[in-house]
Amino acid sequence: MLDWDHLEFYVGNAKQAAHYYATAFGFAVEAYAGPETGVSDRASYCLVQNDLRFVVTSALRPGGPIADHVARHGDGIRDVALRVPDARAAFEAAVAGGAAPLEEPRILSDQDGEVVLARIRTYGETVHTFVERERYRGAFMPGFVRLSDRARAPQAPGLRAVDHVVGNVGWNEMDRWARYYADAFGFTQLVSFDDTDISTEYTALRSVVVTDARRRVKFPINEPAEGRKKSQIEEFLEFYGGAGVQHVAIATDDILAAVRALRANGVEFLETPSSYYDVLETRVGRIAEATAALRELSILVDRDDLGYMLQIFTKPLQDRPTLFFEIIQRRGSLSFGKGNFKALFVAIEEEQAKRGNL
């Protein structure tokens, strides 16, 4: 009975990160925790847009787990937090299934009610917090105060929810982490690709997708594969300093409007080679969206038995070539864009070559 609760980013400057995600991506800054609210070691801003909830957190002093995380990894996602009806039961089941415990279940309460939190480790230094919040009516969770901030992006992109969160893990670690989610969460494998599916002339990767029974929470896991030059997964592992969250796919109901708004707000996307659109209709058949509009915005399309999907990838969200976002609109399809991997990788490699890392 899992669902997404929130994603927590550990960053060097949470005040500026909150401003960036609010202004560029259309979030409202809903809540704040810091010294003014009785939290002495950190500042956290909770950003909300429809069903999306991001928290950006930075350390207030040198040393300590947040500053150390940022020193090693740069800005990145620390916590993929999952909502559960019973955090204690979720924690005990996960640990019984082999998950590494990090924090035993604990209750946080204030005048608005209580939440129960429990925490386990996953790949790299990434964690999963189980959040039980049925008995909480306040802003985000105890320790936070509600802000009156409204969404302040010049154009509202209408982002709706998390679709999937992708982890990059080291050489030959993919199967181990897929098993981890099978044993600890009861997840099943949705699809898998090997390096014959996902390779270009230069770089390759292997990928597997694990998901819960309701297919709400979807975790693709990538590992590098041998290619003629350095895989984009290797580049991530080098610059992140190990395994971590590579991208978050964010669902929208109107990707054309979303990407227009995000571009107007200054978000940078990977560009798609123009030749991609010359053969688009041959590859995916008839779709509702005009090819000219997709070409103008660099939006990709893929199809499976169930329907089709549209997707686009941002450039990295920080100076390190690590975390990025995907914007996705599903029209029936459960695909993760296998048919686009080749076209996408060509575009990613052009960027990688510009950085001298190919």
Nearer to Fe ion by Cβ, of 9 and 325: the residue is 325
How many residues are there in the chain?
358
Q: Which residues of the shown chain bind Fe ion in the complex (CB under 5 A)?
A: 249, 326
Nearer to Fe ion by Cβ, of 227 and 337: the residue is 337
CB of 218 to Fe ion, least distance (A): 9
CB of 180 to Fe ion, least distance (A): 20
CB of 338 to Fe ion, least distance (A): 10
CB of 115 to Fe ion, least distance (A): 29
CB of 159 to Fe ion, least distance (A): 15
CB of 109 to Fe ion, least distance (A): 37
CB atoms within 10 A of CB 263: 17
Nearer to Fe ion by Cβ, of 132 and 212: the residue is 212
Judge whether 57 and 42 are in contact, CB under 8 Å: yes
Nearer to Fe ion by Cβ, of 131 and 198: the residue is 198
Nearer to Fe ion by Cβ, of 132 and 326: the residue is 326
Nearer to Fe ion by Cβ, of 140 and 236: the residue is 236
Which residue(s) pair with 115 in the sheet? 108
Cα–Cα distance for residue pair 111/114, rounded to 1 Å: 8
Backbone φ and ψ for 199, nearest 5 degrees, come out as -155, 155
